[in-house]
Amino acid sequence: MITIAGAGLAGLACAFELAQRGAAVTVYERGEIPGDSSVARFAGGMLAPWCERESAEEQVITLGSRASDWWSKITPVHRRGTLVVAPARDRAELTRFARRTSGHRCVDAAEISTMEPALARRFAQGLFFAGEAHLDPRRALRDLSAKVQAMGAQIRYGTPAPTRVTLDCTGMTAPLPGLRPVRGEMAVLHCPDVDISRTLRLLHPRMPLYLVPRGDGHFMIGATMIESSSDRPVTLRSLSELLNAAFTLHPAFAEASVAETGAGLRPAFADNLPRLTEQDGTLYLNGLYRHGFLLAPAMAQQAAARLIPETTDEDHRERQTA
Amino acid sequence: MQIYGTDITSRLLLGTAQYPSPAILAEAVRASRTEIITVSLRRETADGSGTGFWEHLRQTGCRILPNTAGCHSVQEAVTTARMARELFDTPWIKLEVIGHCDTLQPDVFGLVEAARILSADGFQVFPYTTDDLVVGEKLLEAGCEVLMPWGAPIGSGQGLRTPDALQTMRAHFPEVPLIVDAGIGRPSDAAQAMELGMDAVLLNTAVAKAGDPAGMARAMAMAIAAGRAGYKADPMERRDMAVPSTPVLGMAEFA
């Protein structure tokens, strides 16, 4: 029996990989409602390794490039790519972003207006990352939880984990040295007047923004990156910056309802990359930082491989002949 | 160089914001061989139980110069400075009172007022100011023992926009440590500041946003050392006509 503490994104992804390898899995989650105590519910849900490479290490691509395939077995994945634009004044940001990333091509005003008619005549140039995708984080957490349970794993909601577990996926509450919180703030806008079908990134020297369509006229916008352990609600400064940036993307957002705001703490190590660590007989998966949905699949596979080393072909043959 | 009675060897002060990760920040700090790093404080950084980020900063072994970045009023700056003193246990404070949202230029009136309040309260203030001489004098009267004139707007990377004014400042305040703060984009900008006789350079974005932050930190340190050495070596004056460096005397005569 494998026991996991935490039914957030990391815990569920590990449960899935372990169940797939035939393990009996029990996940303990102190939250009562699925997904409710997971910071992943505030995530953008972007599967955007090539864009993220702008400020992250190469591993976001090596570990994250197959995340879309993994998630599409579990939840709807919208493979619409990412469109990156910049206001005319900040054209240099686009040049810099292009230089630091790969997997994109330049698009002009005409192509932008074909891809996203709502943005017609708003941006003269952009970058299109065709291989990227997005999903709805809350739906994905629900779907993953359901899938894991259908595979036979137990998830005990409202139940604190026993003192000793096989695998700890408790995010910021894990007692790991070097783990730090990076505060993120986001908002959800409801704006049926604007039709945007793919993830947009607005480059701006002060307030870069991403917008992820959630369907039904809802858009998630985010996200701040603040070195802080405070989980108080979004500040006026951050919110006004996010909303201003959304307005720069399209003036029709002025009429949007701010349907929700949120703030959470991303767990991160010094290199901002996730890590598997063993401490006192427990394996910890932590430090997914801002790359939860992108890197959880690969990290869960690594965790499962550590706990249940897969039988090699040779073992298999030996057993068949025995 | 001495600032508030503390001996400083490195003439590069490094900001700690906007790096891709704390690991890369630490690498850049090592490469720069800086002794002083700045850290900005916002209200939300203080109302938690401190952050792991500060632990990373402390591990660099550098002296920490907290700053009041993003404060737009005297009250806000003073409150932030007091918070910083408690958190980092230092009387040092880099004082920023921002007067304009777009250019982030200092509100020099608020700056002088805040500097007076903080100096009287025992702080050792590093004021982020313009290259205005009168403001500089008022800051010294308020108790500051160092001046940090801007080179260009914060984060703009434009280099020194008014080198003549900085030179005038050097001549006007021969004994006051002058640190160019803000606007440095490339190593040549930093070298130029040092050639003008500035005592040090404070920069952040130029290193944090470089493709290879540690590489740029190293380049900045070398440029600063070169600029300083050049200043001390008393460079020649510029001339508006060519002067042959090979003497005409002794040239072969073909006739």
3-state helix, strand, coil in chain B (%, to 5): 40, 15, 45
pLDDT of A227: 87
Confidence class of residue A321 from pLDDT cuts 50, 70 and 90? Answer: very low
pLDDT of A106: 95
Q: CA B13, CA A307: separation in Å to the nearest integer?
A: 47
Instruction: Tell me if chain A has a CB within 8 Å of the CB of B226.
Output: no
C-beta atoms of A230 and B211 within 8 A:
no
> Span B58-78, mean pLDDT?
91
pLDDT in tens, A207-235: 889 999 999 999 999 999 988 888 899 99
C-beta atoms of B44 and A226 within 8 A:
yes
**Range with the poorest average pLDDT among A176-190, A234-248, B41-55:** B41-55
Q: How far is CA A107 from CA A94, A123, A135, in A?
A: 11, 10, 24
A286: three-class secondary structure by DSSP: strand
Q: CA nearest A169: which of A44, A1, A2, A7?
A: A7
Note whether B193 and B184 are within 8 A (CB): yes
Chain B residues with CB under 8 Å of A181 CB are 48, 51-52
- Phi, psi at residue B165, to the nearest 5°? -65, -35
Q: What is the ipTM of this complex?
A: 0.80
pLDDT of A62: 94
Report whether pLDDT(A193) > 60: yes
Residues 6+ apart with CB under 8 A from B6: B63
Which residues share a beta bridge with A221? A187, A211
Q: How far is CA B10 from CA A147, B37, B201, in A?
A: 58, 11, 10
Q: How close, in Å, is residue B156 to chain A by CA atoms?
A: 9
Residues 6+ apart with CB under 8 A from B211: A99, A100
A223: three-class secondary structure by DSSP: coil
Q: CA nearest B20: which of B205, B248, B185, B252?
A: B205
Among candidates A100, A229, A235 on the partner chain, residue whose Cβ is nearest the Cβ of B51? A229
What type of residue sits at position A85? Answer: V
Confidence class of residue A319 from pLDDT cuts 50, 70 and 90? Answer: very low
| Dihedral sign of CA atoms A41, A44, A50, A54 in order | negative
Confidence class of residue A322 from pLDDT cuts 50, 70 and 90? Answer: very low
- What's the angle, vertex CA B222, arms to CA B217 and CA B226, rounded to 5? 150
Among candidates A181, A231, A232 on the partner chain, residue whose Cβ is nearest the Cβ of B52? A181
pLDDT in tens, B170-192: 999 999 999 999 999 999 999 99
B52 burial type by CB count under 10 A (0-12 exposed, 13-18 middle, 19+ buried):
buried
C-beta atoms of B51 and A56 within 8 A:
no
Q: Which two tokens stand for residue A242?
A: 């996010």
Q: Are strands A209-215 and A154-157 parallel, antiparallel or unpaired?
A: unpaired
Q: CA nearest A212: which of A134, A96, A311?
A: A134
Residues 147 to 206 of B: which have CB under 8 A from any A CB? 155
pLDDT of A32: 87
Among candidates A56, A227, A235 on the partner chain, residue whose Cβ is nearest the Cβ of B53? A227
Q: CA A308, CA A126: separation in Å to the nearest integer?
A: 45
A187: three-class secondary structure by DSSP: strand
pLDDT in tens, A53-90: 999 999 999 999 999 999 999 999 999 999 999 988 88
Q: CA B244, CA B230: separation in Å to the nearest integer?
A: 22
Q: How close, in Å, is residue B154 to chain A by CA atoms?
A: 11
Picking from B51, B55, B98, B101 by the largest number of A CB atoms within 10 A of its own CB, the best residue to mutate is B51
pLDDT in tens, B114-161: 999 999 999 999 999 999 999 999 999 999 999 999 999 988 899 999
Q: CA A190, CA A179: separation in Å to the nearest integer?
A: 35
pLDDT in tens, B42-63: 755 555 545 688 888 888 899 9
C-beta atoms of A180 and B211 within 8 A:
no
Q: What's chain B's average pLDDT?
A: 91
Q: Which two tokens stand for residue A123?
A: 């941006």
Residues 6+ apart with CB under 8 A from B34: B10, B12, B13, B14, B62, B217, B221
Q: CA A96, CA A46: separation in Å to the nearest integer?
A: 21
pLDDT in tens, B198-230: 999 999 999 999 999 999 999 999 999 999 999
Instruction: Tell me if chain A has a CB within 8 Å of the CB of B66.
Output: no
pLDDT of A314: 54
pLDDT of B45: 57
Chain B residues with CB under 8 Å of A235 CB are 43-44
Q: How close, in Å, is residue A2 to chain B by CA atoms?
A: 31
pLDDT of B57: 85
pLDDT of B254: 75
Percentage with pLDDT > 90 across chain A: 85
Q: CA B190, CA B185: separation in Å to the nearest integer?
A: 8
pLDDT of B248: 67
Report whether pLDDT(A312) > 60: no
User: How many CB atoms are located within 10 Å of the residue B239 CB?
Assistant: 7
Q: Scanning every residue of chain B, which has its alpha carbon at the shortest distance from the alpha carbon of A177? A: B52
Q: Which two tokens stand for residue B118?
A: 């903080």
Q: How far is CA A134 from CA B76, B122, B195, in A?
A: 40, 53, 52
Report whether pLDDT(A29) > 50: yes
Say which of B94, B138, B209, B232 is annotated catalytic: B94
Residues 271 to 300 of A: which have CB under 8 A from any B CB? 271-273
Instruction: Tell me if chain A has a CB within 8 Å of the CB of B44.
Output: yes
Residues 6+ apart with CB under 8 A from A70: A297
Q: CA B220, CA B243: separation in Å to the nearest integer?
A: 33
pLDDT in tens, A114-166: 999 999 989 999 999 999 999 999 999 999 999 999 999 999 999 999 999 99
C-beta atoms of A229 and B56 within 8 A:
no
Q: What is the DSSP string of A296-312?
A: HHHHHHHHHHHHSPPPP
Residues 6+ apart with CB under 8 A from A120: A109, A112, A113
pLDDT of B44: 53
Instruction: Tell me if chain B has a CB within 8 Å of the CB of A179.
Output: yes
C-beta atoms of A55 and B56 within 8 A:
no
C-beta atoms of A271 and B49 within 8 A:
no
Residues 6+ apart with CB under 8 A from B11: B1, B194, B199, B200, B201, B224, B225, B228
Q: Which two tokens stand for residue A30?
A: 């102190």
pLDDT in tens, A246-260: 999 999 999 999 999
Instruction: Tell me if chain B has a CB within 8 Å of the CB of A98.
Output: no
Residues 6+ apart with CB under 8 A from B185: B152, B156, B157, B158, B159, B206
Question: Does residue B94 carry a catalytic annotation?
Answer: yes
Q: What is the DSSP string of A75-129?
A: S--B---EEEE--GGGHHHHHHHHHH--S-EEEEHHHHHHH-GGGTTT-SEEEEE
What domains can you pick out in chain A, each with its CATH number? Answer: 1-48+135-175+270-322 (3.50.50.60), 82-130+180-268 (3.30.9.10)
A–B CB contacts, 8 A cutoff, strictly below: 64
Residue tagged 């399209």 (tokens): A250
pLDDT in tens, A86-107: 988 888 899 999 999 999 999 9
pLDDT of A146: 95
Q: CA A9, CA B195: separation in Å to the nearest integer?
A: 54
pLDDT of B203: 95
User: How many CB atoms are located within 10 Å of the residue A322 CB?
Assistant: 5
Q: CA B159, CA B123: separation in Å to the nearest integer?
A: 30
Q: CA B23, CA A287: separation in Å to the nearest integer?
A: 14
C-beta atoms of A183 and B21 within 8 A:
no
User: How many CB atoms are located within 10 Å of the residue B238 CB?
Assistant: 5
Among candidates B44, B56, B211 on the partner chain, residue whose Cβ is nearest the Cβ of A228? B44
Report whether pLDDT(B18) > 60: yes
Residues 6+ apart with CB under 8 A from B123: B81, B85, B91, B92, B93
pLDDT of B59: 86
No. of H helices and E strands in chain B? 10, 10
